[in-house]
Structure 1
């Protein structure tokens, strides 16, 4: 239930098209994160208006709440949350990893205490596939162990990273077996692990490629490592992923990371950064990052970004020619200082629009054979400052 074609290339960068059960996704694409079945503070209609083509759901948290009985009643996540376009769900592996000492990993799976009510739970590759089949997500991620950059107070060794990577490979085989046994009509992606060791990344990819999955992701980056290390592993691994299948970089990152990822050959991105940062007054613009809580914005009549066409910056004009929306930095600063919920909502709309528009501009640059020129201008603009 997945078709992918590369429409244009420039260096390693690719302009592609991904066809899924519930729609077509133009790549490269950024996927807003909807952990609990909602992208925080944004209505589905607004997501569509700003150009979101596919969003994420979180297997772990949706399993906790509302639970599988409710999701079965609604026939999956799409009807439950009122989103008709494609959804990708992660496997729960990263959330289990983030529990730290609250979880115990074995060959069979992961035992942990529920962060909701303390119940003892056991998540396995098979159960992850079963949960995601109930969610009926268009793209299903394998259950993996996210190899940490640091382990027990020290930087993860090659031996530790190898053991983690090989466990994820064995789990990938079990995921595929369960995915096929259940007759899931959607697409299963594998996740390349291996920490900061390129030879282990190659071994992980070799093992996953043998499973001939519909798509492949790079996991285990942006987990505490220095940025130079992240870029080194990304630039090594991304071009080695199968060229005829979609490539997904998980949980990364800043606008600069997205441009670097595209340059390395990545097609799909997700990150909580635009939504989480918006809730804390940290906004992304074409000309750098804006810290809304700074006192210098108290009486600033300018929009966040004069080049931005989002509702927060420009508003919209109705059928009678009346303008609605379009807010000053001073007003947004005021909302933040007063703790008004409209503040993070407007900030989130802006940040997501910025990310999605950045990807649209990248696609247009690739179509015109000018991605390198675009990237140079992007970095110059971002360095200029707000």
Structure 2
């Protein structure tokens, strides 16, 4: 399988079917044979023309294929190879249904399967705004604090911010590359990828030395989606590549979330497009975790407590009837509140106990408000007296 990871591109389903039907070694032996392929060799579902084209395509890389050299190169980096059937092989890769990688080249001290078990992909625009990078890092920190892994593609912008957020939280993060794990791409992320390899995982399905090519980025996106329990797009333009990751996750039956942005921002057009298409609106790590943990309760956000919270309707009516400056007698308060005068004094005493009403020489008035409650005065006070 190591040889096939160099012989065939990740999107080559003909190669994957050819190897799956015959086994890696037998497939290599047939590739090495000079005899032309015949129709009798085709297995059910195989096309003779496609098989001939495939053999010609794979033979072009035969001379440069050396699995022992590739294995030695990754081991020199402290890395390893993970194959289907190994305990580190992520179980969700089976969702790819024939599109599984031949092998995974891995650097880092973390168990890959364990890291992917409870994880979320955090992806987005390379040309991210400060808002997008801040939200991506915040989500990754929250995921890390909750014991979940952040998966991303190590690209500029949102991806890099997500990896940095996870590292800042001391949590594992998985960087999935479109090139060999011995290469830093983009070059400006050399230090970041080194840190990920030391504390998390750097993963690729192409062997060491492989170059980052456009089609490999699109193919690596399916691994980001399959590694993760949910995919969240933080910021994306109308045609952002991160939308392909979201689409692949949906195709695999995995949940997808999108972070809303300003409606005037081109950097959030892709997220809004996802939201219109059925993605879940997420605004923080708690809501991402709800996608990852399907049975998790709705996130609870505590609003700051205010003194008038918990008042019953009669108490609210009396509070609304109290002036802010000059005091009023009980009788006048009762008329304004629409209550019987006899019912008002006990309510005023309760409001006084709560610090909402103050008794002065000529009646009652509202107690002075603190600056935080003053911001909510319109809710509590109603019309001014």
Scaled to the shorter chain, the TM-score interval is: under 0.3
TM-score by length of 2: 0.25
TM-score by length of 1: 0.25
Name the larger-Rg structure.
2
Larger RCO, structure (CA 8 Å, separation 6 or more): 1
User: 1 or 2, which has the higher helix percentage?
Assistant: 2
